[in-house]
A and B are shown apart, each in its own frame.
Chain A
Amino acid sequence: MTGAPLPLASEPSGMRAWLLSPEPHSRWQARLGRFYLGWRAFSRNPLAVVGLGIVLLLILVAIFADVIAPYSPITGGDLRTERLLPPSETYWLGTDDQARDIFSRIVHGSRVTLFIVVLVALIATPIGLLVGTVSGYLGGWVDTVLMRITDIFLAFPRLILALAFVAALGPGIENAIIAIAITSWPPYARIARAETLMIRNSDFIAAVKLQGASTPRIILGHVVPLCLSSLIVRVTLDMAGIILTAAGLGFLGLGAQPPMPEWGAMVATGRNYLIDQWWVAAMPGIAIFVVSLGFNLLGDGLRDVLDPKAAK
């Protein structure tokens, strides 16, 4: 008489049921399920989604720069008639002092920005991770020495240390990347160490130790993966800072060299024409602002999902 109970409205079905299954049949399914839950929490934050959109847009623009940019970013048009033109239908964001289309240069500049950010992250994250986990796991004098070194690097203001390094290595985009990476790893090491200190005394580490795992194996196989999520958040939040530092170095003429379309260097060029041809300096600056904003919003959103403790 009562018949089958009506399915609850909130009960998942189909794909969602598979993803949210409390008894996943494979590791892969479990991981996808975790990812789906994370995405659901993330997508509830509209600003974070906007941030993700901006970052994805940056990546797409960088990949398809050749297709999107209507003109060459390096060689300009006619120097007599096409120099310093205001924004118009032909040149959306105007032209610069060498008659180059600013829009095309900004589009190609996205590659430079992405290149810097990715390389700095690839260099600085492993250093920070290694220093932090080794220091936290081993403790003792290793910890003291490594943390003192970290503190010394933290003691310098970032831009100034990067300036001094670039001064020593010579200007150029590779040296700028090395300099920024050298100044970026200390906070990562601090975070990795703090996480390691919490993990170090857990039962599962004791169990692995009893099974006879070596110290490098414990650090690389068990401690490092657990530090990753809070580190990813921190690196993402840091990306805006990396972009701003790189742009600052470029602005001072110490980063990417001409004719490379680096946004900070483009603002520096525009400085000479600021009063009458404001768009030359204004447009690349807006690009820097939008991209850093995107990374900040994305980082905030990721922090809320991956690291609820740190969110305030």
Chain B
Amino acid sequence: MVSAVVNQGGGHASALRSSLKNIAQFVIVLLTTLLGLAAVTFFIGRVVPIDPVIAIVGDRAPAQVYERVRQELGLDLPLAQQFWIYLKKAVTGDFGNSVLTTNPVLTDIANAFPATLELATLGTLIGVIIGIPLGILAAVKRGSFIDQFVRVLGLAGYSIPIFWLGLMGLLVFYAKLGWVAGPGRIDVTYSYLYTPVTNIVLLDTAMQGQWDAFWDAVSHIILPACLLGYFSLAYISRMTRSFMLNELAQEYVIAARVKGLSEMRVIWRHALRNAAVPLVTVIALSYANLLEGSVLTETIFAWPGLGQYITNSLQNADMNAVLGGTLVIGTAFVLLNLVSDLLYRLLDPRTR
């Protein structure tokens, strides 16, 4: 009796220890990856053919001025020390000032990020709401019309250039049919009707009861969100199909059918529940991919998000902004991947 209790206690302690070890492992992986990201952006910043000193003092400055600015920027220090300073600054969120906007890069990024988040979230929602049922249908009715349809949808999603599809969407639904509003987040007429709090226009306008402004924002976001949603849906439906096919071939499905459960119950309660675990990973990955897809989408739809910020800065050789933005997107990408990994471990008891 006593020994059993002790054993149980020991079991708990070892479980705790192993989960602590897991967490430690995660933290180490996260830290080395972030360090690597910083190293890559630092390296990219060094190979730029633009001399940052000349960019500040001009090419006719006397030698001592040049030298002083060089020292102020820390460019005379050894590379390792420069990297250390860069790291210390990056950790505190100091990426320097943007040449283009003259604001600190972090402020710019904080202003732009909600717009990207809004778009990517809506896109993922569309992908999940349409993609998962489509994938299930394709798996259940294998070889049918809907299965072929999902296949074609997926193939096209992997082959269509997103910027081209966005332009064609604008041409058809905005210019020709007039169903949606054009580029931008909201019409100027409505933009003074609400005060930006979260910088997520749909939330701000809805919370402040400005429904006209809300619907205008909806008509602006719907096309880019559907565009991102399509790519997300192409990926999610294809993966759902393959996970469901995998589950439907398992013995427990046969057992459930033998028991006389209805087909609906077998599919939705039993098979989907097991397919849902890897699906969570897929959804997180697709969300991360949309962050990337948003670069081109935002350029087309004049969407004032992170993607547009990076491309604008690129065209003006504003390296602080480019590298800061790259680092932030890279970090978001790494975190999302990590979250999907953690969720997978949490949801699937077999990985424990």
Contacts and interface: CB of A to CB of B under 8 A. Distances in A.
Interface of A: 148-149, 151-153, 155-161, 163-170, 240-241, 244, 247-248, 251-254, 264, 267, 270-271, 274-275, 278, 281-282, 285, 288-289, 292-293, 296-297, 312
Contact of A155 (B170, B291, B299, B333): B333
Given A251-B296, A288-B164, A168 B242 contact: no
B159 A289 contact: yes
Given A157-B289, A167-B314, A252-B299, A281 B164 contact: yes
A152 B37 contact: yes
B115 to A, nearest CB: 17
A296 to B, nearest CB: 5
B296 A248 contact: yes
Nearest to B306: A160
Contact of A167 (B161, B164, B242, B322): B322
A287 B163 CA distance: 14
Nearest to A288: B161
B44 A168 contact: yes
Nearest to A244: B161
Given A160-B295, A285-B161, A293-B159, 8 more contacts: A155-B333, A155-B337, A168-B48, A248-B163, A252-B311, A267-B163, A282-B168, A296-B158
Contact of B333 (A157, A254, A275): A157
Interface of B: 29, 32-33, 36-37, 39-41, 44-45, 47-49, 155-156, 158-165, 167-168, 170-171, 175, 242, 245, 288-289, 291-292, 295-296, 299-300, 310-311, 314-315, 317, 319, 322-323, 326, 329-330, 333-334, 337
A244 B289 CA distance: 14
Given A157-B330, A163-B314, A281 B47 contact: no
B171 A278 contact: yes
A251 B162 CA distance: 11
A161 B167 contact: no
A296 B326 contact: no
A157 B288 contact: yes
A274 B166 CA distance: 11
A267 B164 contact: yes
The SS class assigned to the A binding surface is helix
Contact of B326 (A164, A278, A282): A164
A164 B161 contact: no
Contact of A240 (B158, B319, B326): B158
Nearest to B158: A296
Contacts of A165: 44
A281 B311 CA distance: 20
A170 to B, nearest CB: 6
A166 B315 CA distance: 11
Contact of B242 (A161, A169, A312): A312
Contacts of A270: 167
Given A157-B291, A248-B296, A168 B315 contact: no
A149 B36 CA distance: 7
A148 B314 contact: no
Contacts of A285: 161, 164-165, 167-168
A289 B299 contact: no
Instruction: Enumerate the 8 nearest inter-chain pairs by beta-carbon distance, A residue then B residue, closest first.
Output: A152-B36, A285-B164, A157-B292, A292-B159, A293-B159, A168-B44, A275-B175, A164-B326
A270 B48 CA distance: 31
A96 B262 CA distance: 60
A270 B166 CA distance: 13
B295 A159 contact: yes
A167 B175 contact: no
Contacts of B37: 152, 155-156
A293 B153 CA distance: 12
Contact of B45 (A168, A240, A247, A254): A168
A312 B245 CA distance: 9
A292 B158 contact: yes
Contact of A169 (B47, B245, B319): B47
B331 to A, nearest CB: 9
A254 B168 contact: no
B175 A274 contact: yes
Contacts of B48: 167-168
Nearest to A312: B242
